[in-house]
C-alpha cells in the first residue's frame, strides 16, 4: 500500500492557505481540520500537499454516493454547456419538474405529493414552516430538545443546542416550542425504554394544556435520527406516538430528513424505519452530491396552500443542482445503494461494538444503519462526557489520514458519515486509523 500521508499534517501549502484564511475570513465559519483540499473522488480526499485522506465525514453527510461520481460530474458539465441559470421564476426547465416528480414518488407517503426546491437545508425548513402555517392557519411550531435545523433565525430558534449555534444571537423567532426527545442512554429516571416513551409522550399532551393549545400549533418538526444532537435514535413507539397526537390535533408532522435521507440509514429515507408517512419532508445534503440544493416534499393540498409567488428564491432549484439531483437518484437505483447502505450499516455497527468491548471510554454505540456513532465517557457509571478526548481522537484521525466528526450536546460523540459507496479496503483502513487513535489516546 502506498503511503497516503507524505508530509507533516497540515502540510506546508495547507499552512500557508490557513494563514491567508485567518487574515481574510472571520473565525465564525468553523472547520474541523486545517487541511486544504485539492481534489476528491469516491471516499478519498487529496490535500494541496498531496496527502490522501479517507473520508468518514462525507462533507457532513453530503457524499452518500461518493465524491465526484462520474454521472454527477457529467450531468453538471452537460448542463453547464447548455445553460447555467435562467431562474425557475422566469423561464422554467425540465430538470426541476422531473426531480420533483421523482421525489414525489420516492418519498414515504402513499398520497399525491408536490415538491419545491431551495438552496440549503435551513431554507427547506423555513419553507416547510411557511407552508405548514399557511395550510393550517396556525403559527406555533414544535421542535425537539437537542434537535438541529439550521442557522437562519427561524431554524436557529427551532434548534435545541445553545452553544455554538444560538448563543448571543437572540431574540429568537416567536411561537417556537421544544418538546423532550428520548435519549435512552442518558435518561434520568429509568432505563426502561417503554417507560421513557410513555413519560415523554405524556409531555406532549400536557404541552397543549400548559404551553399552547392545539389550535395554535401548525406543525411538529422532527429529525428521525438526531444528527448534530449525537445520532440519537428514538423508538418506533415514540415517533408513531408523536405522529398520532399530531393527527388527533390537526398538527402537521414535518420530517427533517436533511441528514438522514438518501440511504444514510439503510433505507432511502429514515422515516421508513418508523413506518411514518410525514405530511412534509425536508431534504438536502446528499440529494445533489454537493451541489447546493434542498427540497420540500409534502401532501399536494398542503404544498399548494401558499399562493402564486409566495414561495421560491432566485437560485432555488438551479439547473446545475437539479441535474445533479437526478443523477444521484439514478446512481442510487443503478448501484442498489439502499441494499449497500444496509450492509455498510451492519459492518460499521459490528466494528463499533467490537471496539466498545475493548475500550471502556466508549459508553454507547448507536445509530440506524451506517448513520452510526460512539459516545465517549470518562467513566461508564457516571457517564461524564469525554469531550476533550473526543476532540483529540478527531484530531489524531485527520493527522493520520482519516476525516471524522464529533457531535452531541456535550461534544463527546464521534459520528461517521462515510460515502455509502466506500470500498471495503478504504473502510478497513479507516477503522484501522480509528482503532489506533483509541489505542494511542484512550487505552486503559
Ligand atoms: C437535520 C438537519 N436539518 C437542517 C440542517 C441545516 O442544513 P444547512 O446547513 O444546509 O442549512 C442540517 C445541517 O446539518 C441538518 O442536519
CA end-to-end distance (rounded Å), the chain: 31
The count of other CB atoms within 10 Å of the CB of residue 364 is 21
Residue-level pLDDT at 444:
59
Averaged pLDDT for residues 177-205: 94
- Please list the residues that pair with 385 across neighbouring strands: 377
pLDDT by residue (tens digit) across 401-431? 999 999 999 999 999 999 999 999 999 999 9
149 CA → ligand 1 middle, Å: 5
Averaged pLDDT for residues 306-316: 97
Query: CA 294, CA 147: separation in Å to the nearest integer?
Result: 19
165 CA → ligand 1 middle, Å: 12
Ligand 1 atom closest to the Cα of residue 282 is: 3
Residue-level pLDDT at 2:
63
- Tell me: pLDDT of 190 over 90: no
- Tell me: pLDDT of 157 over 90: yes
Which distant-in-sequence residues (6+ apart) come within 8 Å of 166 by Cβ?
156, 157, 159, 172
Averaged pLDDT for residues 285-314: 98
Query: CA 221, CA 224: separation in Å to the nearest integer?
Result: 10
pLDDT by residue (tens digit) across 104-148? 999 999 999 999 999 999 999 999 999 999 999 999 999 999 999
Query: CA 79, CA 15: separation in Å to the nearest integer?
Result: 36
User: In the chain, pLDDT over 70 holds for what percent of residues?
Assistant: 99
Ligand 1 atom closest to the Cα of residue 228 is: 16
Residue-level pLDDT at 3:
85
- Tell me: pLDDT of 66 over 60: yes
User: In the chain, pLDDT over 90 holds for what percent of residues?
Assistant: 98
Question: Do 71-334 and 12-65+336-441 have the same topology in CATH?
Answer: no
Record: fold of 71-334: 3.40.640
Averaged pLDDT for residues 287-308: 98
| CB-facing half-sphere around the CA of 126: CA atoms within 13 A | 20
Averaged pLDDT for residues 79-87: 98
> What is the H or E stretch that residue 374 is in?
strand 371-376
Residue-level pLDDT at 443:
80
Sorting pLDDT into bands at 50, 70 and 90, what band is 301? Answer: very high
Record: fold of 12-65+336-441: 3.90.1150
228 CA → ligand 1 middle, Å: 9
Domain coordinates in residue numbering, the chain? 12-65+336-441, 71-334
Mutate which of 61, 121, 406 to test ligand 1's pocket (most atoms within 8 Å of Cβ)? 121
Q: What is the mean pLDDT of the chain?
A: 97
Averaged pLDDT for residues 37-57: 98
Residue-level pLDDT at 401:
97
Q: Which residues line ligand 1 (CB under 6 A)?
A: 60, 120-122, 125, 148-150, 223, 227-228, 256, 258-259, 284
**Is the CB of residue 35 less than 8 Å from the CB of residue 44?**
no
* CA angle at 427 for the pair 422 and 432, rounded to the nearest 5°: 160
- Tell me: pLDDT of 348 over 70: yes
Q: Which of 76, 155, 73, 65 is nearest to 318 (CA)?
A: 76
Averaged pLDDT for residues 46-63: 97
Amino acid at each position: 500500500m502506498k503511503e497516503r500521508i507524505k508530509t507533516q499534517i497540515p502540510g506546508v501549502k495547507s499552512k500557508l492557505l490557513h494563514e491567508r484564511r485567518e487574515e481574510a475570513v472571520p473565525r465564525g465559519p468553523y472547520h474541523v481540520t486545517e487541511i486544504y483540499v485539492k481534489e476528491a473522488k469516491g471516499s478519498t480526499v487529496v490535500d494541496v500537499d498531496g496527502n490522501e485522506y479517507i473520508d468518514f465525514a462525507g462533507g457532513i453527510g453530503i457524499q452518500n454516493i461518493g465524491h465526484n461520481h462520474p454521472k454527477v460530474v457529467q450531468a453538471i458539465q452537460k448542463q453547464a454547456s447548455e445553460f447555467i441559470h435562467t431562474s425557475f421564476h422566469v423561464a422554467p426547465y425540465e430538470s426541476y419538474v422531473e426531480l420533483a416528480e421523482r421525489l414525489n414518488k420516492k418519498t414515504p407517503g402513499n398520497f399525491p405529493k408536490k415538491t419545491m426546491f431551495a438552496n440549503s437545508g435551513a431554507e427547506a425548513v423555513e419553507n416547510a414552516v411557511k407552508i405548514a402555517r399557511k395550510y393550517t392557519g396556525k403559527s406555533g411550531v414544535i421542535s425537539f430538545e437537542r434537535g438541529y435545523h439550521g442557522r437562519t433565525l427561524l431554524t436557529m430558534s427551532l434548534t435545541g443546542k445553545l452553544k455554538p449555534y444560538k448563543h448571543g444571537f437572540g431574540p429568537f423567532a416567536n411561537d417556537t416550542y421544544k418538546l423532550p426527545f428520548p435519549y435512552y442512554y442518558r435518561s434520568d429516571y429509568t432505563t426502561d425504554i417503554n417507560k421513557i416513551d410513555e413519560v415523554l409522550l405524556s409531555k406532549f399532551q400536557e404541552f397543549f394544556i400548559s404551553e399552547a393549545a392545539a389550535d395554535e400549533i401548525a406543525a411538529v418538526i422532527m429529525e428521525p435520527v438526531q444528527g448534530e444532537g449525537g445520532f440519537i435514535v428514538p423508538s418506533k413507539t415514540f415517533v408513531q406516538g408523536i405522529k398520532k397526537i399530531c393527527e388527533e390535533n390537526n398538527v402537521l408532522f414535518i420530517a427533517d430528513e436533511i441528514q438522514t435521507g438518501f440511504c444514510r440509514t439503510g433505507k432511502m429515507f429514515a422515516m421508513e424505519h418508523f413506518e411514518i408517512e410525514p405530511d412534509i419532508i425536508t431534504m438536502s445534503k446528499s440529494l445533489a452530491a454537493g451541489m447546493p440544493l434542498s427540497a420540500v416534499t409534502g401532501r399536494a393540498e398542503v404544498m399548494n396552500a401558499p399562493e402564486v409567488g409566495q414561495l421560491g428564491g432566485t437560485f432555488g432549484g438551479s439547473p446545475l443542482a437539479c441535474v445533479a439531483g437526478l443523477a444521484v437518484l439514478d446512481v442510487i437505483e443503478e448501484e442498489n445503494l439502499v441494499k449497500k447502505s444496509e450492509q455498510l450499516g451492519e459492518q460499521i455497527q459490528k466494528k463499533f461494538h467490537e471496539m466498545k468491548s475493548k475500550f471502556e471510554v466508549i459508553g454507547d454505540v448507536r445509530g440506524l444503519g451506517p448513520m452510526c456513532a460512539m459516545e465517549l465517557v470518562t467513566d461508564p457509571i457516571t457517564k461524564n462526557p469525554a469531550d476533550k478526548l473526543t476532540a483529540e481522537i478527531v484530531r489524531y484521525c485527520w493527522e493520520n489520514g482519516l476525516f471524522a466528526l464529533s457531535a452531541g450536546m456535550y461534544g463527546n460523540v464521534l459520528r461517521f458519515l462515510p460515502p455509502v459507496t466506500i470500498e471495503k479496503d478504504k473502510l478497513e483502513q479507516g477503522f484501522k486509523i480509528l482503532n489506533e487513535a483509541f489505542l494511542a489516546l484512550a487505552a486503559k
